[in-house]
Chains A and B, each alone.
Chain A
Amino acid sequence: DQQVKQNSPSLSVQEGRISILNCDYTNSMFDYFLWYKKYPAEGPTFLISISSIKDKNEDGRFTVFLNKSAKHLSLHIVPSQPGDSAVYFCAASARNQGGKLIFGQGTELSVKP
């Protein structure tokens, strides 16, 4: 039972354009959502998050949108840079579950110069 899904295993974008990474979830108890970025042979690093009481959170080139009715969130990166090339994981947590994160399968982003 995959509670968090990232249906696109990979995405290729031209430098300077927008990258949009998508994530769907099924558990309505999730109240916090996060995006992590992972380079090979390294642990994931936190990128941006959003609480379920909001529908948008922006941090520099990164914006996360949450659509609770559709149980969908997306990460926008604009403008995309070659250094953004990595695997991006969507994760969700529920307040009553001690903070454990449920991760999607990841989307590998490639930003081409």
Chain B
Amino acid sequence: GAGVSQSPSNKVTEKGKDVELRCDPISGHTALYWYRQSLGQGLEFLIYFQGNSAPDKSGLPSDRFSAERTGGSVSTLTIQRTQQEDSAVYLCASSLEPQENEQFFGPGTRLTVL
């Protein structure tokens, strides 16, 4: 299919380790978003990309979180020195343009920090 894909689907790591989460958006979509869903909570915005630049990083919870996007396509969300409170499902979405309100979501990466 041509939907948004994310890898890995599950990641278990030890506190203090770094993790990288990957998102492949729908081909041709210029806007890419990262959200996370903690247990029992709604989706929380983290960062969005227009092309390779990130005009809005306001949702990143700390400087341990960073993200990049290369070639206007694949994006990687990196969490350094993971903490237990980072445990959540990390969701990626893409849309044709930033103002295109319908975003298409990937299946998410479930991160568990022990």
A residues touching B (Cβ–Cβ < 8 Å)? 4, 6, 32, 34, 36, 41-46, 49, 89, 91, 93, 95, 97-106
Contact = CB atoms under 8 A, between A and B. Distances in A.
Given A41-B107, A43-B91, A46-B103, A98 B42 contact: no
A103 B100 CA distance: 17
Nearest to B44: A103
A99 B45 contact: no
Contacts of A101: 33, 35, 43, 45, 101, 103
A46 B12 CA distance: 29
A104 B56 CA distance: 20
A41 B102 CA distance: 20
B42 A34 contact: no
B1 to A, nearest CB: 13
Given A43-B4, A43-B107, A98-B56, A34 B101 contact: yes
B25 interface: no
21 contacts: A32-B101, A34-B102, A36-B105, A42-B107, A43-B105, A46-B103, A93-B101, A97-B56, A98-B50, A98-B98, A99-B33, A99-B99, A100-B33, A100-B48, A100-B59, A101-B35, A101-B101, A103-B43, A104-B42, A105-B41, A106-B42
